[in-house]
Structure 1
Amino acid sequence: MVLNKCVPNDVTYGTIINGLVKQGRALDGVRVLISMEERGRRANEYIYSILVSGLFKEGKSEEAMKLWKEMMKKGCKPNTVVYSALIDGLCLDGKPDEAKDVFCQSQKAVLLWKEMVNNNLIRNEVCYSVVIHGFCKDGKVKEALMVWKQMFARGYKPDVVAYSSMIHGLCNAGLVEKGLKLFNEMLSQEPECQPDVITYNILLNALCKQSTISRAIDLLNSMLDRGCDPDLNTCDIFLTTVGEKLDPPQDGREFLNELVVRLFKRQRIVGASRIVEVMLKKFLPPTASTWSRVVQELCKPKKVRAAIDKCWSSLY
């Protein structure tokens, strides 16, 4: 064609690139893209989506992301097909967090989801988790619930991320009771689907905002009983609550101190130590008796001896 001065157009280039990708030669397709651009032709979203998808399928995720960034840099706005290829590729590559970020960047989330469904790109629980997270983060709870129902209809089971995202979306929409119902459903699932500290914090925050502090305490008790330790966010939620919702307000020292004691009684030393660290950072020191227990547990004779020896070796 070229020798006969018959100039290839976008369709020609797209057909060749598509053929190369189907042959498992996505990198050769990228070379054709470079040649196309050197001849003054500008690749469209269709060509980019073929190459991005092909590179991911061949395990060349770095090259796929590089091509994605080049496309954005050149001002070629990705359509739903390109977004679908990128999200699917990132999920297959074991990078759900990056896939979530990409989904949340899309201003056409509903169209994107439909495109993914129509092209059978949603192939596992991770993909569904990404889509549900994206909808909930964008405040589209109805759309998230629609994806949630379709996931079950297709025989997929939600993981802890999907459950937590859905509960978060429901709570943000003021549907806390529905969030709690979903949480109770989690408790009956397999061990890998059990709520983690993130799930608990979502519900604790929602309950405290509703001023139903007694229910939040009950949930915290359940959290401890099930072996899930509080973290910094858990502490912040209750510190804000006792400082703003109680009359008279409290600084939270007594509450956190009691939490430390309860963790120690359960032999959860690491969890108790983390709460003590939070208390010290917020200038809420534990009581003398609690502090004594912390020191006794953490400062075992061998550990103290090792620390002293290290100090001496550093000095001399």
Structure 2
Amino acid sequence: MQFQNVQPDRTTLAVILSSCAAMGLLEGGKQVHAASIKTLFHNDVYVASGLIGLYSKCNKIEVAICIFDRVPALDIACWNSLMAGLSLNSLDKDAFTFFKQMHGKGMIPTQFSYATVLSCCAKLSSLAQGRQVHAQIVKGGYVNDVFVGSALIDVYSKCAYINGAVQFFYEMPCRNTITWNEMIHGYAQNGCGNEAVCLYEHMIQSGEKPDEITFIAVLTACSHSGLVDAGIRIFNSMQEEYGVEPLLDHYTCIIDSLGRAGRFHELEALLEKMPCKNDSIVWEVVLSSCRVRDNVSLARRAADELVRLDQQNSAPYVLLANMYSSSGRWDDAKEVREMMIEKKIFKDPGYSWLEQENKMQTFLVE
């Protein structure tokens, strides 16, 4: 187009910026940014929104904020783009603050605004903030929107307010696959395995077709609640009845379920025939299960596989050392710890947080 000397307009620039953002093509995006400045479109809200999305997805959130601050006449799309960018870069507290600023400036939130800020509340496990947004959703008239409703179910589930999630789910006038998935997953997160399986069956009876996310949710519920046989039955029905090819996450759920139940012969048989053996998550789950059931031989195999896949991964060393410690094999545990020191492998520090007076307090080890 440029070789033909055809000048781009705001739509041209926005579309190509969207493409660069989707590919994470920062250098290409910078070139388009330069072209937008030359053609004086860089302050156009449509183009500016695309630039904010580009830099956010390329982990350049400071540049995105700078562009946002320089737009003379902001519209809701620019506010939504930056709020989504902050959340994408794990700045969820900032995104929520930004949402309140947007609201204070008289901007009317859209479905996208509410879905984004609810996602932030869910990641922060902030029930108080989620309830505040819920009240605004009711006032704004979006309480019946299926995507906003699904996001609200996710917030209540992750904040352990499962009764609120269930009540809202059944009050929704219409649901899609995402809504059903969120509720099944909410049950799984809160240890309600039987309820998750019943809801999965209710979903099928209502005529909704399950997808791969549905099966991850219900298989997770089966694993966490010890419903091994129900999990195997559902896993086997995936391809046979619904044409859904099992993925890594589905195999991981079944392996975890079998490991928790101590059914290691079935677990090893599944390991042999599954297509995705070269993934560290699978072997971490196997090793974790071996620790619970004190299966040393399989634990050693899992640890060796993990080291083969990633020599700097601390998980196999920590899990193996913990297994030896719990079974009283202190010399073996000490040997593993010394091996970590020798290879300069360090465990990532853990952190926790709590909500106090509508503010999140974070605590980091060391």
CA distance in 1, matches of 2:192, 2:249: 22
Q: CA deviation at 1:149?
A: 2.7
Match runs of 1:179-190 below 5 Å:
179-190=196-207
In structure 1, list runs of 5 or more residues that go unmatched.
1-26, 28-53, 261-274, 285-316
* Paired residues of 1:256 and 1:279 also in contact (CA < 8 A): no
* Distance of aligned partners of 1:60 and 1:230 in 2 relative to their CA distance in 1, 3 Å threshold: same
The letter for the 2-side match of 1:110 is: R
Please state whether the residue corresponding to 2:276 is helix, strand or coil.
helix
Q: Cα deviation per residue 1:103-136 (whole Å; 9 max; x = unaligned)? A: 3245422232122112313352111111111111
Q: Distance in 2 between matches of 1:177 and 1:81?
A: 42
Find the counterpart in structure 1 of residue 55 from structure 2: none
Q: CA deviation at 1:183?
A: 1.0
User: 2:180 maps to what in 1?
Assistant: 163
Q: Secondary structure at the match of 2:153?
A: helix
Paired position in structure 2 for 1:278? 277
**Equivalent position to 1:229, from 230, 245, 250:** 245
Does the residue aligned with 1:139 lie in a helix, a strand or coil? coil
SS of alignment partner, residue 278 of structure 1:
coil
Structure 1 residues 122 and 64: alpha-carbon distance in aligned structure 2, compared to 1, 3 A threshold:
farther
Max radius of gyration: which structure? 1
2:247 corresponds to which letter in structure 1?
D
Taking the TM superposition and a 5 Å limit, the aligned residue runs for 1:11-160 are: 55-56=75-76, 59-61=77-79, 65=83, 79=100, 82=103, 88-89=109-110, 91=112, 96=115, 98-104=116-122, 105=124, 106=126, 107-122=128-143, 124-152=145-173, 157-160=174-177
Structure 2: gaps of 5 or more residues? 1-44, 46-73, 88-92, 287-366
Q: Quote the residue 1:36 is aligned against.
A: none
Q: Cα RMSD between the aligned structures? A: 4.2
SS at match of 1:276: coil
Give a deviation string over 1:169-196, Cα, whole Å, max 9, x none: 2233333222222211221345xx4222
Say if 1:64 and 1:239 are closer, same or farther in 2 by CA, change over 3 A.
closer
Structure 1 residue 99, shift from structure 2 partner: 4.4
3-state SS of 1:108 partner: helix
Identity of aligned residues (%): 16
Q: How many residues align?
A: 203
